Amino acid sequence: MVEGKIKTIVISHFDSDHWGGLKNLYYKDEFSAYFKTNKVFHNGLFLTKKGEDEVIGKTIAGAGAEFFEDTILDKGGLAAFAEKYGGEKQTGYTKLMMEIMKKTPDTDIRILSAGSDALNKEITPVDELAMEILAPVLCDVQSKKLLRKFDGDVGIQKNGHSVVIKIKYKNVTILLPGDINDEAEAFLLDHYKQKKEIFCADVYKVAHHGSSNFADDFAYAVKPFAYVISSGDNEQHSHPRPDTLGFLGKAARGSRPLIFCTELARSTKEELKTPEGLRTKINAALKEYESARTKEKKDKLEKLLDKLEKSLNRSISVYGAINLRTDGHKILFSQKLEAKRGDLEWDIYRLEPGAGGLVLVRK
């Protein structure tokens, strides 16, 4: 089996829907034995457990606000935090980070904060492609770099300090805000008050799955031509919220702004079915490969594993997936149709340069 490698992972914040999928890569031996990562970036804010509840550690005062004393900057800080809050006080997120450190000790794990150029150094150089980190913002407090405490509960803190990335490719900009909320947005607007245009983007991946907990002024500052909302069923918050959808259209640029939403576009799902017994055969071959002592045996098992894996039908169609492509000047969006229209399987929308910015090209 060929070893897999992801150069960089960015975890926006520690809500499980933003990091839970990594557990399969690092906890399951059939993956972790062959999976390597160079760097893992996080937002610097880690929780501890108190009984069944998740809580944030101590704060210290400074500059008219409270700041989180346990802001985690690097692997050393993470190891110290894990030792300080071990056992029953340790959350699943912290345990995952420690598992990464244990299984791939060469992986660099550190905060990704405003002003960092780390992502630009990590990506393969592409002409006129840049990623700007706008949040979380580290503040200087008592000779330390700490994250500020917002007004509100634990949920406000962990969502509010999401990693916010602005991608610029030639003339096209895309803003990825994680799950930031109105408290964070008000703070960011004040922090960047001398250059609020920094938030302006052509495409906005709407924060927190279309929650209504956003600041109107922030939406006006982004003022995109198109929105993409990632939301799904089996959740308790009715995302995207009706008032959010109404307001987004009003806050956009252009006469016909686009709002794409994975949930609204989805109506059916084709379940992926693994042929009976195939997964069992793969797991058995993996275990045999791990205990194989000769190169001949390993080579033979590698060929078997490749053959078995090719038998897996990995093609799965989920109506509602939103695709975005750009050449740095034009933007193309597509979403899968529920049923074919002639030979067409995808609904296509194009934004092209025009008077006042990008213009929807009508079919």
The answer to whether the beta carbons of residues 52 and 196 sit under 8 Å apart is: no
What token pair was written down for 166?
Answer: 């602005």
For the segment 275-320, what is each residue's pLDDT rounded down to a tens digit? 566 677 777 888 887 788 888 888 888 888 777 766 665 444 555 6
List pLDDT tens digits, range 176-210. Answer: 999 999 999 999 999 999 998 999 999 999 998 88
H or E element in which residue 191 lies? helix 182-191
Give the residues across from 159 on adjacent strands: none
Angle at CA of residue 174, ends 350 and 355, nearest 5°: 50
Reported as a single tens digit per residue, the pLDDT across 3-33 is 567 789 999 998 888 888 888 778 777 666 6
pLDDT band at 343 (very low <50, low <70, confident <90, very high): confident
251 to 167, 217, 220, 255, 336: CA distances (angstroms): 20, 9, 5, 11, 27
Segment 236-254 mean pLDDT: 84
Predicted pLDDT of residue 315: 45
Report the chain's mean pLDDT, rounded to a whole number: 86
Phi, psi of 164 (to 5 degrees): -115, 125
Say what the pLDDT of residue 275 is.
58
Average pLDDT over residues 107-122: 94
Between 343 and 231, whose confidence is greater? 343
What is the helix (H) or strand (E) element at residue 346, kind and residue range? Answer: strand 344-354
Closest CA to 213 of 262, 286, 150, 295: 150
Q: What is the pLDDT of residue 276?
A: 60
- DSSP secondary structure code for residue 150 in this structure: P
